[in-house]
Structure 1
Amino acid sequence: MSFFNKVLASVGIGAATVDTKLERDQVMPGEEIKGVVEIRGGNTEQKIDDIYLTVNTQYVKESDDHKMNVTATIDRIRLATAFTVSANERREIPFSFILPIDTPVSMGKTRVWVATGLDIKNAVDPADKDFLQVRPSKLMEAVLEAVSALGFRIREVECEQASYRLRQRLPFIQEFEFVPTSGAFRGRLDELELVYLPISAATADLHFQIDRKARGLGGFLAEALEMDESNIRISVSMDDIPVLTQKLQSIIQQYS
């Protein structure tokens, strides 16, 4: 019977299960996440080689003119070394970790989740998935509010494969696509794309792509040749927040 149970456990029937309980699911990049992993033994004793958490998201990757969704691991946290869980045993492992500052926020199509896995040799590894609501940091929120104050509305937010120019630790960037709906830039710009790259909790690089609206024959030719786009990079910090709207307005005006 014991051998039969082991065979079943190896294909996931009657095997150990895992359930992660987060203290809270709303968090900002750079904040601490706490919780407990609950492991319940199955019908037979099993050796757990490893137990880990991963923070994940998906991004769009292009290959041979085709787009595909790819899962990316933002962080991996090992919680325990090898141990044995007895049949029907219940064990809890508390954890805490800092959410990386370059974690994308939960806006638009972006989803972020914590996955918990048990590494069990010669068996199906049980896993658990818990979604996070990642809110913008104070600096990112100030940047988004400043762009909104200039009359722009967010049209789309999506994680995309990072170009060589924007590639940092992760293989993707989160892009915010805005359209002007009011204010001085309505009728002057088609869209504004923003990539927020945090340097620290208090500083970030902003990469803007400003797409000017075609005006006249020359404008239409420039648009056809993709000469109507300007790429701009600026650095901002928490000290800029009181004047952020004016700072962004001045920069965007130069290229609109």
Structure 2
Amino acid sequence: MSIFNKVFASIGIGSAQVDTRLERDNYFPGEEVKGIITINGGKAEQRVDEIYLSLHTTYIKEADDKKYTATALIDRFRVTETFDIGPSESKEIPFSFQLPGDMPLSIGRTKIWVSTGLDIKNAVDPSDKDFIKVLPNRLMEAVFGAAEDLGFRLRDAECEEASYRLRRRLPFIQEFEFIPVSGPFRGKLDELEVVFFPLSENEMELYLQVDRRARGLGGFLAEALETDETNVRMTVTSADIPSMLQKLKAAIERYS
């Protein structure tokens, strides 16, 4: 083997390449992801310390009264132990991992992707990026359906940096912003914001922010002082799906 090939490989020139093929690109939170990682060797033999898969999304952060986009690591999975890949050698490695239950959904501007990397000592890290679509599960769908039946329309969905009191495992929360376009809350509310906090596959905590429409002088004063918003916490389970509309309506009515 040429000494130049060894030197080039150590600085990432002519080094191994990686490609990940997912079984599909649509998933639900908590679902198993399967696929195959293909590694093609470069011009020199290389030792791969590990192959890892990581889940990422972006979210909005605020600092010094300015907003900017940051990348968040949702989870990371080790796929293999140390191995060697020879010059022009090709390896296929099947993998599987489970999506966390608190995955954000691919709604609005939220994008989610799987990054594949090879950890190679003294080399540029070869990586691959594959976007996936995370869909709402049955419980989330029931909440969305109930909101729609109550006359709400989804206006925006975005991942934002979580405040201290709302922070869980991840540094962000995903907010779903609804506006009433018909039904009993039109003219009463400006908007309704919903955040999901999954507790298990069949149980979820909902955080609702009910933004009342200003009515009269006192109402405008309340809005100016930002006291027209009421935060509501409620827990829903799979058993609540048939009555989700009534449950959500009752929670909102108490504060509208």
TM-score range relative to shorter protein: over 0.9
Partner of 2:240: 240
CA–CA distance in structure 2, aligned partners of residues 7 and 26 of structure 1: 41
Aligned-residue offset at 1:9: 2.7
Q: Which residue of 2 aligns with 1:54?
A: 54
Match of 1:83 in 2: 83
Offset, 1:115? 0.4
1:97 aligned residue: 97
Q: CA deviation at 1:168?
A: 0.9
Q: Which residue of 2 aligns with 1:20?
A: 20
% of aligned pairs identical?
61
* Alpha-carbon shift at residue 55 of structure 1 (Å): 1.0
C-alpha deviation, 1:81, in angstroms? 1.2
**CA distance in structure 1 between the partners assigned to 2:136 and 2:2 by the alignment:** 51
Shift of 1:7: 2.9
Which amino acid is 1:51 matched to?
A: I
- The one-letter amino acid of 1:30's match is G
Once structures 1 and 2 are overlaid, which stretch shifts more, 43-52 or 8-17? Answer: 8-17
What letter is aligned with 1:132?
I
Asked if 1:199 corresponds to 2:199, the answer is yes
CA distance in 1, matches of 2:205, 2:173: 12
Segment of structure 1 superposing worse, 126-135 or 56-65: 56-65
Corresponding residue for 1:5? 5
Q: Which residue of 2 aligns with 1:118?
A: 118
- Deviation string 1:106-165 (CA, Å, 9 cap, x unpaired) is 000111111000011111000000111111011011111111111111111011111111
Q: Could you tell me how far apart the structure 2 residues matched to 1:119 and 1:203 are?
A: 38
Q: Deviations over 1:42-63 (max 9, x none)?
A: 1111111111000111111111
Q: Aligned-pair RMSD on alpha carbons?
A: 1.0
Distance in 1 separating the partners of 2:4 and 2:70:
38
Matched, 1:139 2:130: no
Aligned to 2:37: 37
TM-score (norm 1): 0.98
Q: Runs in 1 of length 4+ with deviation above 6 angstroms?
A: none
Q: Unpaired runs of 5+ in structure 1? A: none
Matches within 5 A, 1:210-229: 210-229=210-229
TM, length-normalised to structure 2: 0.98
Give the SS at the match of 2:56.
strand
Q: Which runs of 5+ in 2 are unaligned?
A: none
**Number of equivalences:** 256
Distance in 1 between the 2:19 and 2:79 partners? 14
CA displacement, residues 226-247 of structure 1 (integer Å, 9 cap, x when unaligned): 0100000000000000110011
Shift of 1:101: 0.5
One-letter identity of the residue aligned with 1:2: S
